[in-house]
Amino acid sequence: MSGLANTRSFGDMPSKRMGVSAEPQTQTIQLSPAEYAFMVLISDGVSNEASDQEIVDIVKECRTPEEGAKAVVGFATETGKEGDNATCLVEGANFL
């Protein structure tokens, strides 16, 4: 199953027989406001092109969550080989 894409879990019957599932693995963690500034959800089009620290550094420089998400996607598409499949959502209350 080399080169398995994330989207293979939806509707790919041969992969399902091999154990690929669309059921997400989740974990719940309680955080106080002092423990985080923002949360960033990204697709593999971003994570394949930018490190966690690069993403944090980009978002920290932005004034709004929307600006942060656009900046992360812009970075991923500019530095990426394929230039697509980059999705980002930033959530947080600690913006200027």
- What is the pLDDT at residue 57? 96
In sign, the C-alpha dihedral spanning 59, 63, 64, 66 is: negative
User: What are the tens digits of pLDDT across the range 28-81?
Assistant: 988 887 888 899 999 888 999 999 999 999 999 999 999 999 999 999 999 887
pLDDT band at 88 (very low <50, low <70, confident <90, very high): very high
pLDDT of residue 25: 77
pLDDT reported for residue 1:
44
- The answer to whether 50 and 79 have CB atoms below 8 angstroms apart is yes
Q: Identify the pLDDT of residue 6.
A: 56
The set of long-range contacts for 31-39, using a CB threshold of 8 Å and a minimum separation of 24, is 33/93, 33/94, 36/92, 37/92, 37/94, 38/65, 38/68, 38/90, 38/91, 38/92, 38/94, 38/95, 39/90, 39/91, 39/92
Q: What is the pTM of this model?
A: 0.71
